[in-house]
Structure 1
Amino acid sequence: MDALEQVMRERVVKGLCLSIITLGIQSQAYAIPALPADANMDRLPEQVELMRRGYYIETWGSLKRLNAPDQLGCKGFEIQAHRGHAQYTENGPGAVMTGITSRFNGVEVDARQLGDGNWVFNHDATTGRTLVHPSGDVSLRSLDLNSWMIAKGRNRLGAATNEDIYGAFDILTVVNELTHPAQIINIELKSDPGLQCGSLGSFDAGAKALFSKGKIGYSSMDGLPPLQCIRQFNKDAYVALIQGPSQPALEKWAAANHGDELSRLKGRQRLMAGARLATKAFGAYKYPRWGTAAALTELKTKIGGDVGLHVEITDLLSDPGLTARAHKAGISKVMTYTLTDNESHIKGLKQLKARGAMPDGAIVDSTPIKTCKMLGLE
């Protein structure tokens, strides 16, 4: 923890500038106003150009608004960073920190339990896709915290990096010092076989010891049980059911991610191969629908308190009235996610906006300013 905290503190403090800066570029001097305290002072030539447009680069490399550096998200629309910031290993310390400092409304991370009971942030049940581990592609349940931390992160393209990996509470301890009062950490709970309700309660107790009320929320694609469990321990947290993708959404995912492989098959062989791929990726490929008024009321009743529903963008496009029905049933927020690419997600949101059927927010893979600009909400 000490090493992580020291690195993060140095990066946050680095580059303080409290007075006018004189910058020499090609033998010419330019006087620019004082940059905000979190500006990246190693990128001054870029800062000059960006400041003319009302932006600057903060310490972690994200673009922020010069006149409103603490403004969160878009105008009237909540955006969360998907598995942390897209420039870093997903769910890794750099991704989570940068998602916070770049001023998303929140950061979404995936929580899993190791074999020794410690919690880490990782989407998959194994290490291979997101991490480089000396033992290769191994199950997280076979690791303890020490053997987890010898791994290094991969970037979003799968290439090995030198990024160190830490436990969930090591990361959250540092994140707690960086968060804006209105930001949220959205913990997506991954319910591995054998995970007990008491373990979720222990995780929540640790989170509540670090963060004030309202700063931690929970979500799950594994049905109601983990969310009902969390509600036993935390009456105030935002708790959201992630509605699993429909068959059309999964087919779109399969075409985008496994198109070449599936194109060689026909008929039933192709359908079965797609089903196997979906099962491996999502644990199931048939999920209950929660879109009717009765189902939404049941969702609100069975979880209680501040309840949300997160849906795949393809599914909301096919049922744009869902958001209004959810609100009527007492659901606090409807947010979208995507199985494919960020550009398709934004395109879908723009279509919903044109129809007057925008959700309350989205979990995205682009920066806040880029996302807001694309949606016309900057």
Structure 2
Amino acid sequence: MTSRLLNSAVLYSLLVSTLFLTGCKSTPEPQQPAYVIPAAISHLPLDAANQGLDIVDIQLALGDRNLYLAANGNIKMISTAQCPLDISAHRGDFRQPESSYNAIAAALNDNFNSVEIDVMLLKDGTWVNHHDSQTGRATVHYTGERYKIERMNRKEFGQLKLRDKNTNALLNERPITAAESFKVFAAYRAPSQKLNVEIKSDANGQALVDLDNMLRKYIGLSGFYYSAADKDTLYKLRGINPYVYLGFVQGGHPTSVEKLRSDLRKGVKNDAYYLDNQDDLELAGRYGTKRYRSRYQDYTSTSALKKLQSKLGTNSGLHLDIRSYMQSPGVKSRAKGLGMKVYTYSINGTDYHQQQLLTLSHNTLPDGVIVDATPYKICQRLFKASVPAKRYQPLSNIGRYIASLPQDADFDRFEEMLGYQQEGYYLSLNSGLKSIVKAKKVTTKNTTPTPLLEHGFPTITDEKLEHKTGETIILTLPENGTQ
């Protein structure tokens, strides 16, 4: 009995000790004070970087140019009000793998007005985010074999891997379905941003109804529009959705196709180049120059635009290769007269696209552009939307470097550009690496005219002499000739 009591006492004391210790452990630790964004940069967008060495000075130096440093390391524009152009991200952010979550999310985060994606139909009726008619370029099957997208099912499509754009290496990431694309767009979009869904498959009415229902469900009626190179597909969509914008994609100009074909022939031995342009190469080879020219149709005339609008409805537009747009300078005004929009794209590269846009006056630019470039680059090159106001004097080395950069500095390559800070160089939007030219010292010229005599020679003026006497100097001579 005594031993039981002792055991009970021991157990009780252990229990009390355990509870006491547990109570000590559960005592909440003092909370760390929440980080407060410095007041000087609290006006910047929510994704602005707000921590780090000299971050306030850097942000204020960038802000003097209508720019800011985002938390992801990109330089973005504070305001795009100076850029009255609908800038659409071609297949999402051009720096991200095609057909990926990141391509859509990054484009939205970079403030594109719209994001263009391509959708295709699998044999089991699943809509997927994919541009090419077969695998091999942007997506690769794990076996290495090439497959036509229209002959794959959902399970087989899920076995594809994405390819890195820079290295062409395969990523441990699969392409996404159309429904997944719509969900990620809905999660990251701002109210004004829209999704441009370009339809690549020849789909029947029910498949298009399913597609439209998904878009309405995940994004809403006002958050998307369609484009396609097939008028009949767009005509079916008009019957399904009487309100949505429909953009007809006119084929590339024959000269653009010839140029593309020539460029691809030169680079076909370069495996990386071939992989990057494989679909375009096969397109050019399939049509051929002569055959393509014979089948090419131009819709830039007033009569052609009227026929197009009659088929697609009033809320419609024409999406043109930039070369076709340049050769039809009045197409925008003709389309505007009918209430239609005009967008441009290029199959000859984003640099060519931008160079052509730079030759246009602001009022002759298209309504929108579908590009592989950032909104900052387009707005800066076309509208000088990032001009230094010179209202802030930076204190840090990086801040002073930012302030010293000329107007044509390429802030898309800001991190790379910092590597040239000590040498006094920068990366230009137009011509690569350049030296920062310091302002020359201005010397004040003597504006007083030299007096002339009647014979025309300048007057020689005598030097003025000082007649005032100074202090008396006393000289003492040595006596007896000693020195």
* Aligned partners of 2:129 and 2:175 also within 8 Å: no
C-alpha offsets along residues 231-252 of structure 1, whole Å, 9 cap, x if unaligned? 1111111100001112112112
* Aligned partners of 1:47 and 1:57 also within 8 Å: no
Confirm whether residue 257 of structure 1 aligns to residue 274 of structure 2.
no
* Unaligned stretches of 5+ residues in structure 1: 1-16, 22-30, 263-273
Confirm whether residue 20 of structure 1 aligns to residue 37 of structure 2.
yes
Name the SS for the 1:53 alignment partner: helix
Partner of 1:6: none
Q: How does 1:234-245 map to 2 (within 5 A)?
A: 234-245=241-252
- Amino acid of the residue matched to residue 338 of structure 2? A
Q: How does 1:111-260 map to 2 (within 5 A)?
A: 111-136=119-144, 137-157=146-166, 158-192=168-202, 195-222=203-230, 224-259=231-266
* Aligned partners of 2:40 and 2:56 also within 8 Å: no
Shift in CA distance, 198/261, structure 1 to aligned 2, threshold 3 Å: same
Confirm whether residue 306 of structure 1 aligns to residue 323 of structure 2.
no
- Amino acid of the residue matched to residue 313 of structure 2? G
2: CA distance, partners of 1:313 / 1:47:
41
Aligned-residue offset at 1:76: 1.1
* Aligned partners of 2:99 and 2:175 also within 8 Å: no
* Aligned partners of 1:18 and 1:37 also within 8 Å: no
Q: Which has the higher strand share?
A: 1
* Aligned partners of 2:343 and 2:368 also within 8 Å: yes
* Aligned partners of 1:236 and 1:305 also within 8 Å: no
Normalised TM-score (structure 2): 0.63
2: CA distance, partners of 1:161 / 1:50:
34
Q: How does 1:56-67 map to 2 (within 5 A)?
A: 56-66=68-78
Aligned match of 1:348 in 338, 353, 356? 356
Shift in CA distance, 170/291, structure 1 to aligned 2, threshold 3 Å: same
Aligned-residue offset at 1:50: 4.9
Name the SS for the 1:56 alignment partner: strand
* Unaligned stretches of 5+ residues in structure 2: 1-33, 270-279, 386-483
Name the SS for the 2:343 alignment partner: strand
1: CA distance, partners of 2:170 / 2:176:
16
Aligned-residue offset at 1:253: 1.8
- Amino acid of the residue matched to residue 256 of structure 2? A
Aligned-residue offset at 1:277: 4.7
Aligned-residue offset at 1:117: 1.1
1: CA distance, partners of 2:164 / 2:318:
29
Aligned-residue offset at 1:201: 1.4
- Amino acid of the residue matched to residue 107 of structure 1? V
C-alpha offsets along residues 136-180 of structure 1, whole Å, 9 cap, x if unaligned? 321112322232223221133433333343211112112212211
Aligned-residue offset at 1:293: 0.8
Shift in CA distance, 58/149, structure 1 to aligned 2, threshold 3 Å: farther
Aligned-residue offset at 1:304: 0.5
Shift in CA distance, 59/162, structure 1 to aligned 2, threshold 3 Å: farther
* Aligned partners of 2:185 and 2:195 also within 8 Å: no
* Aligned partners of 1:85 and 1:96 also within 8 Å: yes
2: CA distance, partners of 1:281 / 1:109:
24
Aligned length: 332
Name the SS for the 2:361 alignment partner: helix
* Aligned partners of 1:249 and 1:315 also within 8 Å: no
1: CA distance, partners of 2:201 / 2:248:
13
Aligned-residue offset at 1:371: 1.3
Q: Among the aligned pairs, what percent are the same residue? A: 30
